[in-house]
Structure 1
């Protein structure tokens, strides 16, 4: 049997750190070649004003083609916006299986954001704002994300979402029910639209948007690895 590869794609304004916990798990439990590229303009220091959606997709395509130089089978994992790019790659290349984590087919969950904002406000009153995980994660992004880049992200979503019925390979869809960026209903939205009967839906009751850092991430990673290794995926809709 030939070599297997797995490409993991991070989200909008994010970086490899968003999917690194899963990448580490897969490296420890498989002999696959694991690739975790950082899309142009992304990473620890954002330079989004220098890039656009076409460049993000093109870069991911180049990384996928590089994997094909060494691998016979390739799985693609996409987090948030990376899920949209992963879906695009699956439609246009012979990807074996697809994993979508908090896929940004829909975005902004007002109810959860309101809850998070209340937490930030309460921490402000207690003068613990710098200790608030949510505030620390998004503060930098709020000030370093150009409006034009947000339009590029929406342009990508507008293009890819109608293509979901073209996905014919097995798909694993995971979503945190406490997600304040992508509404929990996005998981079912994607599940209902992908054009395959071999699909699995995993909902985490405790996870927010960064699902690879959720309290149940070990269980999630186990389920993903099992999904990728099994021969046939049952529909659990």
Structure 2
């Protein structure tokens, strides 16, 4: 599909749904779109939670548009969404997929009083791939590499992401990983961590770094046996929805009191 910078691809629109006094912020990942999180958001809304699924700047348009953005733009958007939720809700849970998980961790680090619990699905703060070492230089030579999107086991599903990986944006993401890893000990909130057995985008190093680095007294781990990277719209989606709802109720509260 051909689009122009700034013009949204249908299906990538952000979502907000008003509900009870507990809010949930859901962040999609790098080169993805809100489409990967909206089914989860709608499920939470049906349970009575107030829901926000922002669109990260540079996403949902073109990969060239994304190359004009950086991690400060993406974090700025989830930071804005959190502020908005806090103005309407007594408590807020932050959830994220892939890079969205990294953004969620940074919110927990920087705004600990505003984040009451964390839910991470295949979050990324590190990759073992040594080729990434070349990205800060390569970004000046090559604008993009082949895409990493739609790593989904379930047929017919689409996160409506990009078919290329914009390298200037990727180089910026690498800087955010370093920033977030340095402050993981500041994360004290109850944490629910989902990890796909078969993830072709994010390796196991991020899981080890996060679970060994946070200070959360509660850090529940759930393995996803039938999904790839974009597990929120894969075969284990309902498991994620149900388990996260139980987690929120146990550690933050029921949707309507």
Matched, 1:73 2:91: yes
Gaps of 5+ in 2: 1-19, 131-150, 253-257
Contact 1:96–1:169 (Cα < 8 Å) also in 2: yes
Distance 1:139 1:37, change over 3 A: closer
Give the structure with the larger helix fraction.
1
| Aligned residues: CA RMSD | 2.5
Separation in 1 of the partners of 2:121 and 2:160?
23
Gaps of 5+ in 1: 111-131, 233-237
- Cα deviation, 1:123-173, whole Å, max 9, x if unaligned, reads xxxxxxxxx978x96997343x32111101111111112211110110001
Aligned to 1:53: 71
Matched, 1:24 2:42: yes
Structure 2 counterpart SS, 1:182: coil
Separation in 2 of the partners of 1:18 and 1:53?
19
Structure 2 counterpart SS, 1:107: coil
Q: Superposed, which structure 2 residues align to 1:94-113 within 5 Å?
A: 94=113, 95-107=115-127
How far 1:19 moved relative to its partner? Answer: 1.3
Structure 2 counterpart SS, 1:69: helix
Aligned to 1:223: 243
Aligned to 1:6: 24
How far 1:44 moved relative to its partner? Answer: 5.0
Separation in 2 of the partners of 1:40 and 1:211?
22
Aligned to 1:35: 52
Separation in 1 of the partners of 2:152 and 2:190?
35
